[in-house]
Chain A
Amino acid sequence: MPDQSVTLRYAERFLDGFLTTAWICGVSICAAVALGLALFLVRRLPFAPARWFYDGYVGLLRGTPFLIQVFLLYYGGPGLGIRLSATTTALIGLSVYGSAYFAEIFRAGFEAVPRGQVEAARMLGFDRGQILRNVELPQMAALILPPSVNQCIILIKESAVLSVITVPELTTVATRVVSETFNFAEPYLLLALLYWLLVEATARGGRWLERAAGRHLTTTKGLTP
């Protein structure tokens, strides 16, 4: 029978796990966005091998399960002389996995910026860097916001997979509490609830950001004839 005190007794460990999940996701998401932007810029380079590299990278990371990428890095790494701790594997794995998706989000957002604007900016004497900074990126920012928030949520959920290599995150904590107490229902239901709260909070934050960005967009639209 479920022992009602289990969850309370282990509240501190659940909190620890929750915070570990939160910081690993936070750091990885920031790294994934930066790496994704770098990848997107590589793809824009004017020679074919850059594009092949991009297509291979994105294809490999999006075409295989995150779980096997974690296994390859954690258990396969030593075969290549790379020995990583579980937490380092988690950070690298999640960042690299996320970067492929963010690069594609940047690419789609970039393609949605009308070509005429880029041509007009070039006519006005802007160089490539200026066009990217002053014309393309600001417009992309509004377009890529909804898919980016969605991707953050996907990465938060994928982070549960890291329990398989015993990263001390939320799912690991719940599984350990289960094996210590033989109480299945409470820890696992609490686990689901905590993820749901984290995901819901992220989604709400994202909608708030979208509204803020949307206000900015409407004013701009109102000004254009």
Chain B
Amino acid sequence: MKKVKSAFGLLTATALLATMVGCGGSAGDDSSATSSPAGTEKLKKISIFQSKVEIAEPLEALVKKYKEETGNEVEVWGAAGDAYSTQLQAKLTANEGPTIFSVGTGAEAEKFKSYYYDLSNEPYVKNIAPNMALKIDGKVVGVPYGVEGFGLVYNKSLVDPKDVTNLESFTKTLEKLKAEGKNGLSLSQEAYFLIGHIINTPFALQPDPQAFIEKLNKGEVKMADTKEFQEFAKFMEAIKANTKNPMEVKYDTQMGDFATGKTAMVHQGNWSYSMLKDYGDLGFEIGMMPLPLAGNNKLAVGVASNWVINGKASADEIKAASAFLNWLFTSETGKNAIVKEFKFIPAMVNIEAADLDPLSKAVHEATKSGQTIPWANNYFPQGIIVNDLAPAAQEFFLKKDMTGEQFLQKLDAAWAKAAK
């Protein structure tokens, strides 16, 4: 018995040692493979981490083409969606950050600013459309993915934009659709689609949105005392009274119901076309119009994400990363991918927009004619939409007797807490 035991012990110990040695061996292999320069012109292998789930697959394909054309390797670390910022932070803090990553304009860009490599002297940044480059302390540090816009995406066979021009007509349209058994307008339960985007409008309509946000942070103004927000509250009341509870709607059901004609309008952006595309021929035309808050007739257009290079990476990696961005924004393959595969509305002057879907077209036209309001929500305190505004909005939609006025007070309270 004793012998069996010790033999077994020896076996386990050997197995254990074998695994340890195995691990060590493979780790060693890895590092030697990456550090050995195989070709003459070969650049160091770099990694990309970015937030947009929609372009995850095309980006992987593009990286393969990049390798075919130039022989250089780029590794794509998947897309994280909602948890992107958290994961990025964890990776950067652990000194295992990607070489190229994406950041949102505004508070998120501010948060990671100690990591950016100064792109001011790189050739491709000269092609960025005016006022679209991500700048920190006067230096260009990020290249925009593209411009995006949101507003009311509507079914042209159910809604006429002429009937949605102010609070009164908006409410009437919702009531009429409700009477016809259609859902007039759909928000969905995700924080940005529930409140984050729609609350942008009253902010963007302020004479100076950024100054207004600062005042709000300091507690010098209140949403409840501001005219545009009071009207916003009435819009939200109309939505609550006449449409399906957004807390029961997810992004995919929201777009699904819209695609099948059960919902007449959704508050969404041009990105949502990728969801509609899956339904094939919808059988009706779609368009995008502004949320007519306080007579607003402009779409909200801005830059959601920017490519930045990790300045903490080694000089070789930075060089390789810059070469990749240069290829992405100047080569035919790269430019093509941005427009045709990523379906971005380009924010570069050297890239022509081609074959835009109806929603992107609306955004592109608004951009060209200047009929846009900014994305003020980029300048909200970091994380406030998900952590503070969304719970307040959930309460508003779940409590039947909560009025728009009480909702504004909740939002003010949530803001005061978050801005601390």
A, B co-complexed: no
